[in-house]
Amino acid sequence: MQPRTRRFLPMEWAETAVPIIRDLAIAQGHPKLAVHVAVAPSWLAMGSSPAMTLGNRVLINPSAFQLPDDARRYVMAHEIGHILHGHSKAAFLAFAAIFLSFVISPWLCALVGWGYILVFLVPNGLGDRAEYQADAVAASVLGSPYAVIRAQQEVMRVMLGDMVPQRERRWKRLRAMAQAQTKSERCSGLPGQSDESGGEGAAEE
């Protein structure tokens, strides 16, 4: 359950990944979960994205090496969430099908490509569902949906990312998740998480 790391990957990233992979493997019922963590190759243009998944590999953007601990834990948990939900494999198979169809016929490629967009991406908000599912996994690791929002804000600050509509929609769903959790805790007689101490106000600073 430990990640296999390539050369030049900072040790703190490997040390962050090990317990997250172990705990998620147990919690999600995947005892044989194997995740490979590596530095993204220089030719892979990742822009402001701190990491990406390819199959069961997590490729770390070298620009993300300077992320603080909480943001680093969020990035690893989020990307492993994609692996747990099979998002990267589905995307790989889809693009492989598009590439092979292009070799056969450009018209077939267009048909397969638009079919993938209309059948899978549009109903899911052009990737919103996959990103939210990965965020939910990260929230289980960080302990709060609000912690995920704060970590994303830190990632945006370090990676010079922009606030885009998709991220706004994800934050809205994360806040709704946090409010539902708080309501459930209060109904169960457990101490809830106050908005003032760790909620939306802190996340939007």
- Kindly report, residue by residue over 179-192, the tens digit of the pLDDT: 999 888 888 765 54
Q: Is residue 2 part of a domain?
A: no
Q: Who's near 48: CB < 8 A, 6+ residues apart?
A: 156, 159, 160, 161, 162
* 12, amino acid identity: E
Q: Is residue 188 part of a domain?
A: no
What is the count of structural domains for the chain? 1
Residues of the chain short of pLDDT 70, as ranges, are: 1-7, 88-103, 108-127, 189-205
pLDDT score at 8: 77
E strands present in 14-124? 36-39, 51-54, 57-60
Q: Is residue 203 part of a domain?
A: no
Q: Average pLDDT over the chain, rounded to whole?
A: 80
pLDDT score at 19: 94
Q: Is residue 197 part of a domain?
A: no
Residues above pLDDT 70, as percent of the chain: 71
Q: Is residue 97 part of a domain?
A: yes
- Kindly report, residue by residue over 87-103, the tens digit of the pLDDT: 765 555 555 555 566 66
Q: Is residue 4 part of a domain?
A: no
Q: Residue 151 is part of which domain span?
A: 11-183
Q: Is residue 113 part of a domain?
A: yes
Q: Is residue 73 part of a domain?
A: yes
Q: What is the distance between the alpha carbons of residues 107 and 105, in angstroms, rounded to a whole number?
A: 5
